[in-house]
Chain A
Amino acid sequence: MRSMARLLLGALLLVPAGVAGQTPEALPLLSTETSDVARVVGPPRSQPLSGMALDAKTYQVGALLRCPVCQGLSVSDSPAGMAQNMKGQVRDLLAAGFDQEQILAYFERSYGEFVRLQPPLRGVNWLVWFGPLLGLLAGAAIVIGVLRKRASTVALEPEPGSELPGPDTLPDDPELRPYLLRVRELAYGWPGGASPEKEKA
């Protein structure tokens, strides 16, 4: 069976000496390009798509590929010629039955990890996926800690001997000063608003 497949694909497939690639057990009518794809990412792992499903999935996969000649746009969104070609290639590969990860890996072979708009999970990339989650946990821990601490200090007895609510300093805005002094005069009966015990002006 293997040698039969080899004979059939022999004219189309290229097996360079340096690469001990496996001969994919692919459909016999693969074009040169898709057989190259199969050599790189393995045989198609999924069902060939067509019609509306194909359109929808093409857009979906295209949205994960970066248009190499644009600034940050995805292949699905970009009108550039290169992006249109890439979109066509994505469509052909989906129609041949390759799945999303295979297609992304194929483009990554030519263009590098740069072409994937969503960082794949490898190496230090884990940090960008889990960083926000760790941030959430750390932040939540801090907030809960702050709330616990605040709530527990409420239980403490107020300082003995302090009958005045709040600090006894004058406000920063000089305009408010006469009002505060007048209020203290009216409320506490302090002449001129000055506390009889403390020497604050």
Chain B
Amino acid sequence: MIPGLGRALILLSLLLGTVGAMLAFATARRPSPASWAWTKRLAFAFSGGLVAANLLMVYALLAHDFSVGYVAQVGSRSLPVWVTVVSLWSSLEGSILFWGAILGVYVSVATWANRNRHPEYMPWAIGVWLACGAFFSFLLAGPAQPFATVQFPPADGPGPNPLLQNHILMAAHPPFLYLGFVGMTIPFGLASAALLAGRLGGAFLRPLRTWLLLPWIFQTLAIVLGGWWAYEVLGWGGYWAWDPVENASFLPWLTATAALHSAILTERKGILKGWTVTLVLATFLLTILGTFMTRSGVFNSVHSFTQSPIGPTILAFLTAALLWSVGLLAFRIDKLAPEGRIEDGKSREAMFLVNNLLLVLFTFTVLLGTVFPLLVEAVRGVQMSVGRPYFDRMAVPLGAALLFLMGVGPALPWGRATGAQVQKALLPPLLGAVVAAGLGLVLGVRNSWTALTLAFGGYTAQVTLGELWLPISQRLKRGTALAAALAEVTMGAGRRRFGSYVVHTGAMLVIVAIAVSSTMGISKEVSLKPGDQAQLGPYTLTFLKSENLTEPHRTAVVARIEVSRDGQQVAVMGPRMNQYERQREPVGTPDVKSFLFHDLYLSVMNISPDGQSLGLLALVNPMVGWIWGATGLMALGGLLTLVPQRRTAAAEAVR
């Protein structure tokens, strides 16, 4: 019964999406209240169909209904409940279904939020959204069918890939990633609408900005959650390996960040309209490229469990979307005429251009490195790799430059600047630079790039903290009480600007933390028998014994390690090696103990079957926890900026 119902819901949403898209485009060309009303209804109905299909699948998973194809594939009775829920997105068909539901929710909310606004744009936008939605419904109806009927339902299923059961973060990373990736469809529709309508007015920038920022926040969190998961689960001590699929999630983030900055210039001065729209289109295209890379099997990646036969279909959609974007831009970009100009090369506006240059260059570099092995094979017939050492080399100067720009940009004034003004703005933060670099040298930094990054960090910190404090100090000078001033700046009228600088603060901390954690760590690989000790920096590690654990879905050998410092016991840690029934190679789980400024990271490299001989990897990773925390700060700042401000009392008075 469930498989049939599920298939019906999917076919319904395919139908509604297709008809809705056609009606939306017709409404855009020949508006009428009736067709507009029906367009919106179809959009809501389309969303409802996909969301319902998702809920049905979750129910089927929890009820262990093995007559449903997808449940038979990934369900299992011996799993904890959270793993059962998570298995919704653990494998191809379920993940596309999840994608569809999120798209449905986004389309509904975006339609409802703009139901009475921007009539020249919205039908175009809804048309584009429903066209994309129809494609995903088509995938679900055909190549990636989750509701296939199983003729003879098995009594139990194999469960999802063991790697995905290892850690609770697996529950968080994919949903956030989808909220980010899928969400980029909305600004894609809005940008397409601007091109189709032939204009991009100031008022329309509001929804464009909002609907770019919301998925951006999710994407930021998703990328870092992925890194955090890799760190806690994979056991090699790092958090980013420039795997093609990691790059796939990073590329749209870079262009979205560039678009957010470019949109500020469009809002302020009415310039770079075409460029902002191009960046928004590129962001969506990169998400489709990303999903192609993850699922097609063309790229050698850690995410190989998601490889599937739907590659060609996604490539077809990507081709269509690319040609649509290029065509639309070629034919309509000239309609988006600028309304202002950049006055001075030493102004903040000019720095926005530099920001875009660096971010687009970063995007180009990562994309080039990721697809390069394919190119070389086509040209030289040789298989080669472009791996972490290459990307690290390229990313370091780019990251450092962006960090520095975060300081220089906000320091410079808007509009025009004289040489004296520039000096007055750019020289004082050098103090912060010197202090930070000095602090680093004192604490043992010897790597020149890390020292430079610290210096830039200090520079930017001084500028950013100054900008955060500025509106508060202005209000204090006017006689406002401190509490009121803080409230107004952080939550009232000054919220958008404040939030932006909070994001910069977070970004600065992330870049500095990455630089420090990459070069200032200590690592040791030792062979230990029970009772043996090893010294790692200030820590003494003693291998106590190994324990065997049996859990319903795996067996494990845990190595108990006592950690002490200055003679005092700090903890007993337990990195482990897990053996899953379905896999030959065991999968290790490291144990990580986090302190304020560093992590102590222990990972089992190998352990003899009798548990008497342990190969241990021990690391001290400085500042890694700051990466996670500072990203949270970035998301918080984004949220502050996102929530729209009420029309002020003055605006009301004019009525």
Contact = CB atoms under 8 A, between A and B. Distances in A.
A–B contact, 8 Å CB criterion (strictly below): yes
B379 interface: yes
A139 B258 CA distance: 14
B478 interface: no
B365 A132 contact: yes
Interface residues of B, number: 66
A166 B339 contact: yes
A48 interface: no
A147 B118 contact: no
Contact of B382 (A59, A112, A131, A147): A112
A124 B655 CA distance: 66
A94 interface: no
Interface string A86-129: 00000000000000000000000000111111110001110110
Nearest to A176: B203
Interface in A129-180: 131-132, 135-136, 139-140, 142-143, 146-148, 150-151, 153-154, 166-167, 169, 171-176, 178-179
In the complex, which of the residues B119, B201, B603 has the most CB atoms of chain A within 10 Å of its own CB atom?
A: B201
Interface string B222-253: 00000000000001111001111000000000
A73 interface: yes
Interface string A56-73: 000100011010000111
B357 A139 contact: yes
A79 B360 contact: no
A66 B365 contact: no
B376 interface: yes
B512 to A, nearest CB: 23
B120 A143 contact: no
A117 B342 contact: no
In the complex, which of the residues B235, B384, B385, B604 has the most CB atoms of chain A within 10 Å of its own CB atom?
A: B384
Contacts of B345: 147-148, 151
Contact of A172 (B199, B242, B383, B388): B199
A135 B366 CA distance: 12
B193 to A, nearest CB: 11
B121 A172 contact: yes
A63 B523 CA distance: 14
A131 B342 CA distance: 29
Contacts of A179: 651, 654-655
Contacts of B238: 77
B341 A119 contact: no
B361 interface: yes
Nearest to A138: B361
B365 A74 contact: no
Given A114-B384, A116-B384, A128-B386, A172 B204 contact: yes
Interface in B337-367: 339, 341-345, 350, 353-354, 357, 360-361, 364-365
A182 interface: yes
Interface string B368-382: 110010011001101
Given A71-B243, A71-B301, A123-B379, 16 more contacts: A59-B523, A63-B389, A77-B238, A79-B604, A84-B606, A113-B383, A117-B385, A118-B393, A119-B385, A124-B375, A127-B368, A131-B364, A171-B201, A172-B199, A172-B201, A179-B654
